[in-house]
Amino acid sequence: MDSKIIVALDYETEAEALSLVDQIDPSLCRLKVGKEMFTSLGIHFVKQLHERKFDVFLDLKYHDIPNTVARAVRSAADLGVWMVDLHASGGLAMMEEAKKILEPYGKDAPLLIAVTVLTSMEDLDLLQIGINASPLEQVIRLSHLAQRAGLDGVVCSPQEVEILRKNLGQDFKLVTPGIRPIGSEFGDQRRVMTPAAAVRSGSDYLVIGRPITQAENPAEVLRSINASLQNS
C-alpha cells in the first residue's frame, strides 16, 4: 500500500517518537520531522527513521535569502530526505535558486515544495501582517509562483485543493496539513477538513499530527484513518 498519510512526529523526546515508529510499518505512512524534533535531535534522528526504511519529509520551512535557503536545501538532499520545504513568501528568486541547486541530484533529488499560507491562519491574521487578501487568494497567488519556480508542489489547506488542482494540473503535489478526523480537537488549526474529504478533494498527501500522536493508541488511529481512506 502507498499511503497518503504523513505523520507529523511532533514529540518532545526521541523515545516517545520511536515508540510509535517501532509499532508501525513504512507502508502505513511517511514521517515528517519538523522544527521541534530537528532542533533537539538533528540529523541523527532523521537517520534513525531512514534506517527503519521510512520516507522522511523534513519540514523546516526555510525562509531566508536565496543563497542561504538553497544551501540548506542542498544539505537536506545530502541527508537523503524524500521531501523538503521552504516558504513561498521568500519569493521567486529564492525558490528558483533552491530548485537549481538540486539539479545535480537528478532523480534522487528530494521533492521541493513551498508552504503557502499556514493552515492556522485566517483572513484577520493575513490582514495583521499587511496582506489584504483572503487565504484562498493568497494561496493561489503563491502556488502559481511556486509552480513558475519549478517546484514540485505546495503545502496548503485541504479547503484549497480543488481549485488548485484545476489551476495547476495533476502532477503538482498538494500536501495538506489541517486534517481533523470527526470529533478531534482543532487546536490551533483553522482551515481544516476530515481525512476522507481531503482525499476526495484531491490532496496528494495528508499531514496528520496530534490526532494520531496524542491518541491513546496512535498506531491504531493511524490504521483506522488509512482504512477510512480506502473507500474515498
Residues with a known catalytic role: 59, 61, 64
Percent of the chain as helix, strand, coil, to the nearest 5: 50, 15, 35
- Is residue 82 within 8 Å of residue 54, measured between CB atoms? no
| Smallest distance from ligand LLZGTKA7 to CB 135, Å | 10
**61 annotated binding-site participant:** yes
d(CA 153, CA 57): 13
Draw the binding track, 90-129, toward ligand LLZGTKA7 (x: CB under 6 A; -: no contact).
-------------------------x--xx----------
- Is residue 62 within 8 Å of residue 86, measured between CB atoms? yes
Query: By CB under 6 A, is residue 209 in contact with ligand LLZGTKA7?
Result: yes
User: CA angle 197-157-126, nearest 5°?
Assistant: 145
Task: Compute the residue count for the chain.
Answer: 232
- The residue sitting closest to ligand LLZGTKA7, measured at its beta carbon, is 209
Between residue 20 and residue 59, which ones bind ligand LLZGTKA7 under the rule CB under 6 A? 34
Query: By CB under 6 A, is residue 207 in contact with ligand LLZGTKA7?
Result: yes
For the chain, list the strands marked E by DSSP. 5-8, 30-33, 56-62, 83-87, 111-115, 153-155, 173-176, 205-208
**63 annotated binding-site participant:** yes
**Binder among 135, 177, 195, 218 for ligand LLZGTKA7 (CB under 6 A):** 177
**Measured CA distances, 146 to 64, 69, 118, 193 (Å):** 16, 15, 15, 24
- Is residue 8 within 8 Å of residue 207, measured between CB atoms? yes
Q: Which stretch binds ligand LLZGTKA7 (CB under 6 A): 22-30, 64-72, 125-133, 204-212?
A: 204-212
d(CA 155, CA 189): 14
| Smallest distance from ligand LLZGTKA7 to CB 83, Å | 12
Query: By CB under 6 A, is residue 192 in contact with ligand LLZGTKA7?
Result: no
Q: Which is nearer to ligand LLZGTKA7, 76 or 100 (CB)?
A: 76
Q: Which residues bind ligand LLZGTKA7 (CB under 6 A)?
A: 8, 10, 34, 115, 118-119, 155, 177, 187, 189, 207-210
* Binding site as annotated, residues for substrate: 10, 32, 59-68, 119, 180, 189, 209-210
